[in-house]
Amino acid sequence: MEITTRHTRLTRLLHGPLALAVVVQLGSSLAMIPERADRPGNGLFELQESIGIASMALVLAFWLWSLSRRRGTPPGALFPWLSGPRLRALKVDVLRHFGELRRLRVPAHHPDAPLASAIHGLGLCLVTFMAASGTLYLLSGATSPRDAGLTMELHEAFGSLVWVYLIGHAGMGVLQHLATEFDLRSMWSLHPKTDKD
């Protein structure tokens, strides 16, 4: 069966490794031991540093592609907060979702839905902050996360939000795959027909 997707191949090629990097970072954070002045960090901390640098590069590439592409979700849909018409469309879509959920139905998947686009934009900002703050820590020369001060305190606090985003984002994708016409393979397949190409 041929899969049709609205995402360009480069979007999917950037999304896959970035999603994997986020999963590795979250998983390794559960058992890593950060370095301190009196002891080095463990292997998982070193993995955090390496994957963190790669994540920063992927995030920058994703931003450049998102801002320069001619097809796919427009940047204004990802960040509707300063546009009256986009905010009104977002409100209508949020009310549509609540109406469906109130009836115990999974909201139908709409590829250009304002709510999904806004959530993707928030996720991109969140992952950008995590990658940037981790990179800033590495470049600061601090001997431990505690020495890096507010930057790493925020990095650790926002890590919990990344967990919420990841579980919610993946969970909603699986739920829509099972209950609506949405096909998860449209984002993960490397060889589908792309309706935006």
- Token pair, residue 52, equals 């963190």
- Determine the average pLDDT of the residues in 123-135: 94
Q: Measured between alpha carbons, how far is 187 from 183 in angstroms, rounded to an integer?
A: 8
Q: Could you tell me the domains of the chain?
A: 4-75+82-194 (1.20.950)
> pLDDT tens for residues 59-117?
999 999 988 888 878 889 999 999 999 999 999 999 999 999 899 988 888 878 899 89
Helices marked H in 84-188: 84-102, 114-140, 150-179, 185-188
> What percentage of the chain has pLDDT greater than the value 90?
44
Q: What pTM did the predictor assign?
A: 0.83
Cβ-Cβ contacts under 8 Å for 184 (sequence gap 6 or more): 173, 174, 177
> pLDDT tens for residues 139-157?
887 766 666 678 888 898 9
Query: For position 159, what pLDDT does the model report?
Result: 92
